[in-house]
Amino acid sequence: MFLFLSKVLDLLLAPLSWALLLWLAAWALRRRRERLSRALSALGGVVLYAFSIEPVAMGLMRATEAGAVRSFQPGVTYDAVIVLGGGLDPAATERTGVPEYNAAAERVLRGFELLREGRARQVLISGGSLDPRPEAVVEADVLSRQLQRWGVPAERIVLEGRSRNTRENALESARIIQARGWKSLLLVTSAAHMPRAAGCFAAVGLRPDLLPVDSRASRTPLRRMSWLPRSGALNVSTDALRELAGRVVYRARGWTVP
């Protein structure tokens, strides 16, 4: 039920959804409340424009990534690097039969680099599937095969393919870590996702070193950014709002700790 509600919340947190709902309300009131209808229609346009410009989008993403602490120690060889899923496009992967990635692909790339450079003895890939079909793509399996094609021996790869969200990433990873007796750990995920992920791992008694990747917040001064609407900026705004809302929900449920 929580997973279903989280998907509904994702939809409702999209500025495009807000604009469409406002326009739908404006259309429904066009005959009875003409003045209100025009106001709602204009508000829908303002909402869509505001979240589609770089200053707003980057401001939100900066706030989202602000808590992404980097505690990676270059001189340490970690027992394991934990790579969280979220960089794979499962639907596209299923259609083409080859790994298809999204903007968070840097997670697995950085994990591979750490293994290649000898910074970690093993990698724990944590990522399952929201699709209940038996034949559904499981991200951990796909990433494992990808790492092996890049030359990583299978014995250095540990899979966790049951988790469906960040809370389950932490719970399932903790079981594996305890069973294997790993002590020194490094957590790799996107910068925007890192505060929530680190909080989830801390809630299950794990405080690994942190290596945020996939930073999306531009450091260009906001006043110098474009004020023309762009679909890319709308996507960034939506991702930031969803992550910020996810933190509120996780904190309310007691799934994260500082």
Task: State the pLDDT at residue 5.
Answer: 62
Task: State the pLDDT at residue 6.
Answer: 64
Q: Which domain holds residue 61?
A: 1-66+230-253
Do 135 and 188 fall within a single domain?
A: yes
In a domain, residue 89? The reply is yes
Do 48 and 104 fall within a single domain?
A: no
In a domain, residue 7? The reply is yes
Do 82 and 209 fall within a single domain?
A: yes
Q: Is the pLDDT of residue 1 over 70?
A: no
**pLDDT one-digit tens code per residue, 28-51:** 998 888 999 999 999 999 999 999
Nearest to 168 by CA among 205, 210, 124, 128: 128
Do 5 and 129 fall within a single domain?
A: no
CA–CA dist 87, 192 (Å, integer): 13
Do 51 and 158 fall within a single domain?
A: no
Whole-model pTM: value is 0.92
Query: For position 195, which CATH number holds?
Result: 3.40.50.620
∠ Cα 79 212 104 (to 5°):
105
Do 135 and 208 fall within a single domain?
A: yes
Do 96 and 183 fall within a single domain?
A: yes
Do 175 and 97 fall within a single domain?
A: yes
Do 187 and 139 fall within a single domain?
A: yes
Q: How many folded domains does the chain comprise?
A: 2
CA–CA dist 43, 64 (Å, integer): 25
Do 83 and 199 fall within a single domain?
A: yes
> Strand pairing of 185-190 and 209-213?
parallel
In a domain, residue 195? The reply is yes
Do 93 and 200 fall within a single domain?
A: yes
Which of residues 222 and 178 earns the better pLDDT score? Answer: 178
**pLDDT one-digit tens code per residue, 71-88:** 999 999 999 999 999 999
Taking residues 131-137, report their average pLDDT.
89
Do 86 and 207 fall within a single domain?
A: yes
In a domain, residue 71? The reply is no
